[in-house]
Structure 1
Amino acid sequence: MSQVTLTPGSRATLQKLGPFVALLIIAVALSIVSRDFLTVDNLLNVMRQASINALIAFGMTLVILLGGIDLSAGSVLALSSVIIATLLSSGTPAIVATLAGLVAGGVMGFANGLVISKGKVAPFIATLGSMTVLRGLALVVSNGSPISSFNSDFFSLLGGGYVARLVPIPVVLMLVMFGVFWVLLRKTVFGRHIYATGGNAESAKLSGVKVDRIQLWVYTIAGVMSALAGVVLTSRLNSAQPTAGTGYELDAIAAVVLGGTSLTGGRGWIFGTLVGALLIGVLNNGLNLLDVSSFYQQVIKGIVILLAVLIDRGNKKSS
């Protein structure tokens, strides 16, 4: 009996399809055990819930492709949300307040990139420090209390509105940003430089890649994406919580890893991140439908993430 030998290209394709196959299997299993899962309303709800994680994870994908990490994403979300809510409650137009929040997120991300690229501080340490600083600033700005004394129809639409009275606007935002990041990574010189830097920073430097500038831009983009997630969350809840976003960076990292992006950098794709975010959303939704305790949900999610990391290590050894 002849043995089938996979070429490196076909093996890579199978590895990329793995997260998507896992998502399909879990979705089929949940549709069998719960009649409420496979309904239009529930599936749109899953995508709406996954959209916030996906937005953060898109930015996190660039960071991890560099071989870095960003532990401050949740804190950036919280501080951006508080800034937006503070401006809205003072009568600032919604568009101006929203743009200010996004710019603030970009500035926070730029600060991370500056410390990492120019200060030569390890990404884990740099973003761990900024996580604490930014969370503290969110508490200072809000005085430790939720901010909800604002009312804007435009701003409310960003998190609670629909396109064609069917598709939630957060889902549309998620899909649009997916398209933007797909083009960024697949069709631009900047995207190729991200992969080159993550694969081997020294070789990239010798090839003329301005590694420091790439790091600055990547962390800035990651900050803007965390702030955009904060816009959606604040709009949905119609309030800003200084404690919002706690642990969101971990869910984003999980989505990136589940999607097949290597934690050592240089290998991954944005479609996998989208699938990873949806996978986490489907797991959360399915476990809720099955009335699984939130304590056990954490255990199950942790096991899934560990399995994804082990698979990634196995793929690296075989490649």
Structure 2
Amino acid sequence: MTQPASPAKHDAPIPAAKPAPDKGSWQRPLGLRPDVRNLSLLGVLAVLIAVGGITKPDEFLATSNLQLVLTQASIIGVVTVGMTFVITSGGIDLSVGAIVALASVWATTLATQEYGFAGILFTAVIVGLGCGLVNGLLIAYGGMVPFIATLAMLASARGLALQITDGKTQMVTVNSVLDLGIKDAYILGIPPLVLVFAAVTVVGWLLLNRTTFGRRTVAVGGNAEAARLAGIDVRRQRLYLYLLSGLCCGIAAFMLIVLAGSGQNTNGNLYELDAIAAAIIGGTLLSGGRGTIVGSVLGVLVFTTITNIFALNNLESAVQQIAKGAIIVAAVLVQHRTLRGGEA
């Protein structure tokens, strides 16, 4: 009687099935944990405050100066919140400064000011959304590279702003708008513009970290093709992101109108560089897939404090730009090192 063949003694055992990957694993940042990174930025900010307090104690630590720092940080901070979403998705927006300029001058024309506070605010927001819509359509549905599309918007918006103003400053005559910038409007010593920035920051944090929209943004930035195969409409998501960036620019333009009391075609100069730099040093990955609103806000505060310290000490703006550039390079190098360490 034939015996059944026994299994070979040297057959390799069948490997156990690998556990399914955690669905949320793609959201985990590599390298430094967000809390460690934010604590590091807080440490840098504390050092800068100490430097300012030592070099110019009377001027820097004055309540009026601290209010000024927060107010200046608020305008670029709102722009940075929108920029953080765009960069997290793997995109870039070089047109934010020009959009702020265009929105500010369009909202301060005599025809617009006839409609008062609501007319100025509505115009600034609509112009920002309109520019964001153009950017989004060109990039998401036109197939243009974000760098090129937003660079074209930068040139076009600056040119249109110059044409509207004819190179002149447009003064605001609506008292209800100007009153927001005076000390009588401060709430418990906090300027209204700072409260607007705080509200935008909270909404941005919730949107990025607690909603499907935020998860889709991270997914598109991490791997757009994988996001598409997972059922995400990548093109529509990108359109929404540039609309969001345009909305933030419109809000920032209105805040700038309140602060300056005027609209100029030179408004928002280099805002795009400041916003990108603040987001990067805050921990947002330039290649996409990771973003942090809290880190971006801390980055804005670091740069604004540096600017204020340099101004109080009468240091040349060239030295200030060199210092900012060194911080950006250091932040990018840290990102690369931590990413390589996380992938090892």
Which TM-score bucket, shorter chain as reference?
over 0.9
Aligned with 1:114 (options 125, 137, 145): 137
Once the two structures are superposed, residues 210-233 of structure 1 have per-residue CA deviations (whole angstroms, 9 ceiling, x without a partner) of 111111111011011111111111
Instruction: Write the distance in 2 (CA, Å) between the matches of 1:304 and 1:181.
Output: 25
Instruction: Count the aligned residue pairs.
Output: 311
Does residue 306 of structure 1 match 2:318? no
Counterparts of 1:150-169 in structure 2, within 5 Å, are 150-160=172-182, 162-164=185-187, 166-169=189-192
Summarize deviations over 1:38-82 as a string: whole Å, max 9, x none. Answer: 333222211111111101100000010011110000110011011
- State the distance in 2 between where 1:118 and 1:17 align: 40
Contact 2:112 2:120 in 1 (8 A): no
State yes or no: 1:78 paired with 2:101. yes
* Matched residue type, 1:34: K
After superposition, where does 1:198-237 map in structure 2 within 5 Å?
198-237=221-260
8 A contact 2:30–2:338 mirrored in 1: no
Same amino acid, percent of matched pairs: 36
- Unpaired segments of 5 or more residues in structure 1? 1-7
* Residue in structure 1 matching 2:92, options 69, 74, 91: 69
Distance across 2 between alignment mates of 1:312 and 1:258: 9
For the pair 1:15 / 2:23, whether they are aligned, the reply is no
Instruction: Verify the 8 A CA contact 1:105 1:226 in the aligned structure 2.
Output: yes
Cα deviations by residue, 1:245-291 (Å, 9 ceiling, x for unpaired): 12111111111111111101111210001100000111011112222
**1:1-319 equivalences in 2 (<5 Å):** 11-12=32-33, 13-35=35-57, 36-86=59-109, 91-148=114-171, 150-160=172-182, 162-164=185-187, 166-319=189-342
C-alpha root-mean-square deviation of aligned residues, in Å?
Answer: 1.8
Deviation, 1:300, is: 1.2
How many Å apart are 1:306 and its aligned residue? 1.4
What letter is aligned with 1:123? P
Distance, in Å, in 1 between the alignment partners of 2:111 and 2:39 is 44
Identify if the C-alpha distance between structure 1 residues 90 and 277 changes in structure 2 by more than 3 Å, giving closer, same or farther.
closer
Q: How far 1:239 moved relative to its partner?
A: 1.1
C-alpha distance in 2 between matches for 1:53 and 1:252: 7
Shift in Å, 1:147: 1.2
Q: Output the CA distance in 2 between the equivalents of 1:11 and 1:296.
A: 30
SS of the aligned residue for 1:85 comes to coil
TM-score, normalised relative to structure 1: 0.92
Runs of 4+ in 1 over 6 A off after TM superposition: none
Determine if contact 1:157/1:169 at 8 Å carries over to the other structure.
Answer: no
| Aligned residue in 2 for 1:5 | none
Q: Secondary structure at the match of 1:167?
A: coil
The letter for the 1-side match of 2:52 is L
Task: Give the letter aligned to residue 39 of structure 2.
Answer: L
AA at the equivalent of 1:140 = Q
Q: Is the 8 A contact 1:195 1:265 kept in 2?
A: yes
Distance 2:104 2:241 in 1: 21
Measured in 2, the distance between the counterparts of 1:135 and 1:10 equals 39
